[in-house]
Each structure stands twice: as structure tokens, then as C-alpha cells.
Amino acid sequence: MALLNILHYPDERLHTVAKPIATVDDRIRTLVDDMAETMYEAHGIGLAATQVNVHERLVVIDVTEDQSGLTAFINPEIVERRGDTVYEEGCLSVPGIYDKVHRSEWVKVRALDRNGEPFEIETDGLLAICIQHEIDHLNGKVFVEYLSPMKQERIKTKLKKREKRTL
């Protein structure tokens, strides 16, 4: 397994719409493993392939505290949603920034697992929020884009200043 480089907002590559995965093979399973390792190392609960500059429809998520619930979602699709909730979100591509985002409270999702087998889940709470957040990445959208234009500009400025200090 290998750690992958996570793109940081406002990197334009984060706005690339991911393409469907035609075949779940060893390359995809290795990518799942590498993404999981990268997510855990960064102390995240979700990571989309777009965030590691791979523009294919793949997400890994684990919302458990003991890292025992890793799920790969290949070609995920939200087929039903209900309710409305507000949750304070963060993102590995927008480090140190947290803000409230409106999401559906409950979702039904269809996807393929790491073996290419189809599955469906119905969920709410943190897992539902995380799935919506990561699918947004696959569609080229970062959570800060739900915020006001003024907040978006402040976040861009803050992250650019932080990046300059680390160079």
C-alpha cells in the first residue's frame, strides 16, 4: 500500500468530474487500499478518488472510531433522499476549515463494492452526510462551495497564505 497526495482547495483538479469505473480489477482494489491508508493517515472519515487526483468514481468511507467499518463505494449513486439536516463539515482537501452545510438527512445509495458486486444501503446521520460529501467530490464540488461567496474567498485566501508559509 502507498500513501497518496491529497489535493488542496482551491486546486482546479478538485473540480474535475470523475468518470465511471468500467471494470473492478486489481488496479481498483489497490487504489481502494491506498486511498484507505491515506484517509486513515490523515485522520479522515472519507476520501474520494478525485481528492488524490484520480478522476474515477470511487469513494472510501469509515465513520467508526476504531477504523473497523471501511466501505468502498464504486460508481456510487444516490437513488433516494429524504429530510434536511445541517452538519458542520470539514474536508481533507480543505484542512482546518469547518462550516455548516445543508444536506439530506437520509439517503439510499447504490454502488459496487471492492469486488465489483452491487450493493445498496439506506442510511442517515454521519454516514449519510459523508456519502453526500464524497459524491460531491466525484461531481467536482467541494463543500465550501455551499457557503457564501464571501466565505469562499476568505477560505481561499487563508489556505493560500498557509501554503506560502509552508513552502
Q: Residues 89-106, buried b or exposed e (16+ Cβ, 10 A)?
A: bebbbbeebebebebbeb
Query: Would the annotation count 137 as a binding residue?
Result: yes
Q: Which three cell numbers stand for residue 11?
A: 486546486
* 18 burial via Cβ count (<10 Å: 0-12, 13-18, 19+): buried
Query: Would the annotation count 130 as a binding residue?
Result: no
Are the CB atoms for 47 and 92 separated by under 8 Å? yes
- Residue ranges of the alpha helices (H) in 42-110? none
Q: In 3-state terms, what secondary structure has residue 165? A: helix
Angle at 86 between CA 54 and CA 39, to 5 degrees: 30
What element of type H or E holds 111? strand 106-112
Question: Is the four-CA dihedral 75, 132, 50, 68 of positive or negative sign?
Answer: negative
Query: Would the annotation count 133 as a binding residue?
Result: yes
Q: Which residues are catalytic?
A: 134
Binding site members: 91, 133, 137
Binding site members for Fe cation: 91, 133, 137
